[in-house]
A and B are shown apart, each in its own frame.
Chain A
């Protein structure tokens, strides 16, 4: 798996230097740049959240354990796929980890297939997440350029209202709505209503649907 476009880095945190070294060497041999940390504190203070990559956490560590580290990381606003390694088959911990969004929960000693597969999945997730974040960011930038009236029209269009209905709702004439709608569509860079709805979905905007419009959408 050659990685040329972006350097996907694996951040490994384990209090056992020998395990840290072994995992690092394996992932490096598989072609991943790695960063190794022997304590959660070191990881939290030194790692670069902007670098694409995933994290491999040992579950049982003194003072701050893996789950705690996951919580601290997410709390600081860093979204990074996490793979947990554990010495014991601790089911409750694995459930908690997965619920909190872990990529995988692997038992030591971990086979390279399982680890590399999990890392590959984490890379996909990371890539998608980053892409999603990028898209959302550009949509949000475009939405920000709309006037208040254009934004109102946008919301109504996304909700599936016809121009005439929108004009009625907003207390104006259909012609004016057409002008606003054209300007809004061009500012957002879409041509069709379908593209507009998809963009709204990506931006996480939920249309305020009304019962009769559902049928239209359907």
Chain B
């Protein structure tokens, strides 16, 4: 059983029946179900045509369904099985034609031409319409009409016409026979064909998917159509004044159009079929508007009337279907986009320039903290933007709306409940055919989370940098204390001297004045040291400022003065004359310099004192950047260390944290530069960084 289930690859139309067939009787019996049904349908189609054919002795049949039936089946069957269906219709054909006493030769020709029409149409439609849905667009419907109702029957009619004139000298008009053959086939393909393709082209339950109301509507149209066309067409031609004929002919038209517009190609094909059946029935009962003296004329009129009704109505149905499908597709894609957008926490909106109206998705509104039905315009949104960001945000939207630029900007909004969120807006202008931007469409993305993370990371980085500064200051505490001691010593000495001088009976006031002047000067010097220290220990972010790197280097080295003496080190300067200023945080840059200098000093602990010198240089790199270098005469960096020095927690020092260079690198990076550490060719290490020069426009601000 499992094996059978696993091997079940037969077409679904065969269903479970084929399983049983394969198990007990082999493949043939199950596969013959379709061909037998087709055979029966073909026979019934031919019979119905013969009934209609009684309208005129000279016309074989004004309406020939068997070909359409075969065509419809071939269209759905795999090409490898077509021969089976063609073979299956042979007995039906023979039986039907024998029934009306047809001779063998015309019977064979008729079979050949019938099969040819069905096969050619099936091939052409498959090739041109590329599978289900067979209709669905105006283009497909037009191709169907051209192929099945014109080109193929017109060609095959050259053969089919022989059937009609064979053995009947009276009907020997070939052109007439050709026309009859063509029209009979066309009518079949225009009335029954679309029914097969649109109603059963994609399944066997065409009404599925229709609501009860729509089904009632469809039923009402069908009944009304039967009634109206039955009434309109039942008048015998000679009982109606000629002037009333057009009115009668047109009376079913509103219902037909209604069906085509409301129910697309299915409605259109059904309406055409209903009219066809009603007209043929009436004609057969000899009470028809098409009831002139000559039956051949009547049939021709009937055929022409039905064909000229069917073609435009089918095309109308197809195009209304196309519109509906396009609408549904748009709706679906919109729905998908909305779903995707709200899943991704993206709000969609557009802004109509002329009216100032804003349309936004429900999700977009909820991002803004607004109810789904709140009226929305430019002002409501502008008022929600945080006052600090409002001007810039409006300016950038204006750039999108008027200059037609694609813009991205970020701003904060204040929700009605006072909450502050960060939004990133991406907007672009939609232009009319003259290239004038008519509306701005865009998205809001809530980036509060990433902004918060960014802010937290920034805070952490600053905290860490600050901690490292504190650590460096700790290392330098002795040196800094000494820097303070010097002026304090001078102050104390001068003050005591002044006291002693003043205690003397004959005071030398000029010396006292000089002592006080020195006290003042040294107090300022001590104050400067404290300021410097406090600056480095400060934690807050500072607004970026214009910085003279040379001055910064000198003041940093001053801070190290005592440390240099204690370590018996010297520093040599090689500074560019009058370098352009850079822009940034002086404390952070000083931290970098301090760190690089301390590293250089640490590196030379084992260097003999006469060689213990650090070289600090600045160099202009064109007019856009400044390079700063700190080199030592230490052992340099090992190759492994060289690769890893900027990694956090990597250190070569016994008590190092391994954060110094990592933080320096981050700081330089944040200033738009790059920090590098290399070995010099003549020994020792060189740490250098490049900073972009402050642009003049920024300097002007």
Contact = CB atoms under 8 A, between A and B. Distances in A.
A110 to B, nearest CB: 7
A77 interface: no
B500 interface: yes
Interface string B427-466: 0000000000000000000000000000000000000000
B482 A110 contact: no
A80 to B, nearest CB: 21
Interface in B477-530: 478, 481-482, 485-494, 496-498, 500-501, 504, 511, 514-515, 518, 521-522, 525
B494 A26 contact: yes
A88 B479 CA distance: 9
Interface stretch (B223-231, B385-393, B562-570): B562-570
A110 B525 CA distance: 18
A62 B482 CA distance: 14
B224 to A, nearest CB: 112
Given A18-B522, A87-B486, A108-B486, A30 B500 contact: yes
B190 to A, nearest CB: 111
Contact of B497 (A29, A60, A110): A29
A16 interface: yes
Contacts of B493: 19, 22-23, 25-26, 109-110, 112
A111 B499 CA distance: 13
B58 to A, nearest CB: 133
Interface string A49-71: 00000000000111101000000
A50 B493 CA distance: 28
Contacts of B511: 25, 28-29
B230 to A, nearest CB: 121
B515 A25 contact: yes
Contacts of A88: 478, 481-482
A168 interface: no
A21 interface: yes
Contacts of B566: 60
A16 B562 CA distance: 11
Interface in B552-583: 562, 564-566, 568, 570
Interface residues of A, number: 25
**Which secondary structure dominates chain A's binding surface?**
loop
Contacts of A26: 493-494, 496-497, 500
Q: Is the interface of B mostly helix, strand, loop or mixed?
A: helix
B131 to A, nearest CB: 94
B300 to A, nearest CB: 125
A85 B565 CA distance: 15
A129 to B, nearest CB: 27
A19 B570 contact: no
Contacts of B487: 18
Given A28-B497, A88-B478, A19 B489 contact: yes
Contact of B490 (A21, A29, A62, A112): A21
A62 B567 CA distance: 9
A184 B329 CA distance: 139
B481 A87 contact: yes
Contacts of B494: 21-22, 25-26
A13 to B, nearest CB: 14
A36 B491 CA distance: 17
Contacts of A85: 489
B488 A108 contact: yes
Given A22-B492, A110-B492, A29 B501 contact: yes
Nearest to B507: A29
Nearest to B488: A109
B518 A18 contact: yes
Contacts of A23: 489, 493
B565 A16 contact: no
A185 to B, nearest CB: 52
Contacts of B492: 22, 109-112
A22 B500 contact: no
A18 B525 contact: yes
A90 to B, nearest CB: 9
A110 B488 CA distance: 9
A62 B500 contact: no
B258 to A, nearest CB: 105
Interface in A70-109: 85, 87-88, 108-109
Interface in B308-337: none
Contacts of B491: 22, 109
A127 B257 CA distance: 137
Contacts of A109: 485, 488-489, 491-493
Contact of A18 (B501, B521, B565): B521
Nearest to A113: B496
Contacts of B490: 16, 18-19, 21-22
A87 B518 contact: no
Contacts of B521: 18
A16 B515 CA distance: 16
A109 B472 CA distance: 25
Contacts of A60: 482, 562, 565-566
Nearest to A30: B500
B497 A25 contact: yes
Given A19-B486, A29-B498, A60-B566, 8 more contacts: A18-B486, A19-B489, A25-B514, A25-B515, A29-B497, A60-B565, A62-B564, A87-B481
User: 5 closest pairs, A vs B, by CB?
Assistant: A22-B493, A87-B482, A112-B496, A29-B500, A22-B490
Interface of B: 478, 481-482, 485-494, 496-498, 500-501, 504, 511, 514-515, 518, 521-522, 525, 562, 564-566, 568, 570
6 contacts: A19-B490, A23-B489, A23-B493, A28-B497, A29-B498, A60-B565
